[in-house]
Amino acid sequence: MNFTYPKNEKLKSKITIGLLFTEGKSVSKYPLRLVYKAGTFDEGEKIKMGVSVSKKNFKKAVDRNYFKRVLRETYRLNKHLLIDNLDQPYSFMFFYQTKDRLTYEEINTKTIQLFEKFIAQNINKPVSDSDSISEV
């Protein structure tokens, strides 16, 4: 398994990001939210991923950058859960949605649970969880 986060997996296109927010769906596992949309990319690319931390929750850029770094790292180490189960390419935007300062271990655990919830929804298996699955 390749645990990298190469440049071609980074979500940068303003058009794609705009489509994510207008047409995408979301899965939540407090305090994380994953907005996703099926898309088409260059050959061999299965995922485009972006991360975001609200300025409303963390005023200092140092804090926002720390949590973005943690989100990218947890994605990098757990992306195999997504890649192994995807049947088509997807764009993802990954959000940290709380003012609480969770530890890396807590965020990593929530990321795994969030990815499993996305996979369950994507493969049309029922999910018995109190967290929301909704349109954006």
Kindly state whether residue 20 falls inside one of the protein's structural domains. Answer: yes
**2-16 tens-digit pLDDT:** 788 888 889 998 998
Mean pLDDT, rounded, for 41-54: 86
Domain encompassing residue 85: 7-123
**48-58 tens-digit pLDDT:** 999 999 999 99
Kindly state whether residue 73 falls inside one of the protein's structural domains. Answer: yes
Q: Residue 43 pairs with which residues in a beta bridge? A: none
Judged against a pLDDT cut of 60, whether residue 127 lies above it is answered with no
CA nearest to 46, candidates 83, 81, 73: 83
**15-39 tens-digit pLDDT:** 989 999 999 999 999 999 999 998 8
How crowded is the C-beta side of 24, counted as CA atoms within 13 Å? 20
Kindly state whether residue 106 falls inside one of the protein's structural domains. Answer: yes
Kindly state whether residue 41 falls inside one of the protein's structural domains. Answer: yes
Kindly state whether residue 129 falls inside one of the protein's structural domains. Answer: no
Q: Tell me what pLDDT residue 34 has.
A: 94
Kindly state whether residue 135 falls inside one of the protein's structural domains. Answer: no
Kindly state whether residue 132 falls inside one of the protein's structural domains. Answer: no
Output the domain CATH number for residue 43.
3.30.230.10
How far is Cα 37 from Cα 46, in angstroms, rounded to an integer? 12
Q: How many domains does the chain have?
A: 1
**87-125 tens-digit pLDDT:** 888 999 999 999 999 999 999 999 999 999 999 988 655
Kindly state whether residue 131 falls inside one of the protein's structural domains. Answer: no
User: How far apart, in Å, are the Cα atoms of 74 and each of 43, 90, 103?
Assistant: 25, 18, 12
**67-85 tens-digit pLDDT:** 999 999 999 999 998 888 8
